[in-house]
Amino acid sequence: MITIERLSKKFGGFTALDRIQLVIDTGELFFLLGPSGCGKTTLLRHVAGFYQPDEGRILFDNKDVTRVPPHERNAAMVFQNYALWPHLTVEKNVAFGLEEKRVPKADIGRRVSEALQAVRLDNFGARKIHELSGGQQQRVALARALVVRPACLLLDEPLSNLDAKLRLEMRGEIQRICREFNLTAVYVTHDQQEALSIADRIAILDSGKLLQVGAPAEIYRHPCSRLVAEFIGEANFFTGCIIGRNDFLEVDLGSRTFLVSAPPGPAPGAGCPVTVCLRPETIRISESEPSGQAWRATLLETTYLGQTAQYLFRCDEDLIKVTEINPRPIRRPRGHECFLGIGPEDIILLPEK
């Protein structure tokens, strides 16, 4: 278990981390997500021991490791650029950490073989690094981290140099390895799909502050702010005001009114300003006016992506993005008029600020 207590770090006048409070459970695949410069890599390097905080503590299983050097923390790091030795074979790269720890040679050979087997590179030990593909090099970096039998695996954007197909494959491999070895893993990325697809929990950071922590579905369906909603997936935003509440909250947007299911926690009262967030895939397109809440819209653009189609509609003065899953072969030319509808349970309410 990793416990981070009020961790702060400044570089000159720049605040990189601002009193971060966080607990990462044993065996959890935990993602740090946020825009460039938000502090996620700085936080990871503090956990690794490469940086020392100005304030706060880091504990591994309730043991204070804040001032413990990296090689004594029982944590292994996988870097964005792999950091492999090009003049050494795959086997020698994986063995490097064990040789530094002066592990007996007989044990080194066995453990290197086990690590390469775990990442499915059993027959690649004699190859040089330049003879491997990007995905294979990433597997070598993982094997080198696993061979020292860490309790904690730290990953700094490990898939950013791979193409889309390899990234998808390696996501599954990393998840499998973490589960198989019961590793506590802290994974830094700016890729939303990467985080949503395999994380147990996600922390969203911005400007050195922790904005929200939760399971992927929780953060996607119930973001705590517009910034989080914008960063996790696509969204349409409208400013409105609560004008009534019975079974649903009634929200006035000026040009239209929405009925909204009450959000988790205390619901805002009448007169309270709110931001309405509509995820594009929750909006339904109908050729005739459906029952329930719907509004007339004009199609401006279509982008066909095979498994989905993305549309841009104009509704009064608003532009609305809509995503259709498994789009039907209906040709909708530009200027086509139809109806957009959404259920009360799919509308997200956010505080105005």
Determine the Cα–Cα distance for residues 223 and 348; give it in Å rounded to an integer: 8
pLDDT the model gives residue 353: 62
Q: CB within 8 A of 12, min separation 6: which ones?
A: none
Residue 106's pLDDT is: 85
Sign of CA dihedral 313, 315, 318, 324: negative
Q: Under CATH, which number does the domain 234-351 receive? A: 2.40.50.140
> Quick one: which of 66, 50, 53, 78 has its CA closest to 3?
66
Where are the domains positioned within the chain? 2-230, 234-351
Other CB atoms within 10 Å distance of the CB of residue 250: 16
**Token pair of 264, please?**
């988790």
Enumerate residue ranges in the chain where pLDDT < 50.
Answer: none
- Domain 2-230, second-level architecture: 3-Layer(aba) Sandwich (3.40)
> What are the pLDDT digits (tens) for 230-276?
999 899 999 999 998 888 899 998 878 889 987 766 777 888 899 99
* pLDDT given for residue 228 in this prediction: 94
Burial letters 54-86, b for 16+ CB under 10 A, else e: eebebebeeeebeeeeeeebebbbbebebebee
Q: What SS3 state is found at 32?
A: strand
The pLDDT of residue 244: 87
pLDDT in tens, 96-140: 888 888 889 889 999 999 999 988 898 899 999 999 988 899 889
Q: In this structure, what token pair is assigned to residue 112?
A: 């290197």
Cα(250)–Cα(78) distance, integer angstroms: 49
CA 185 to chain centre: 13
C-alpha dihedral, 22 to 28 to 33 to 38, nearest 10°: 30
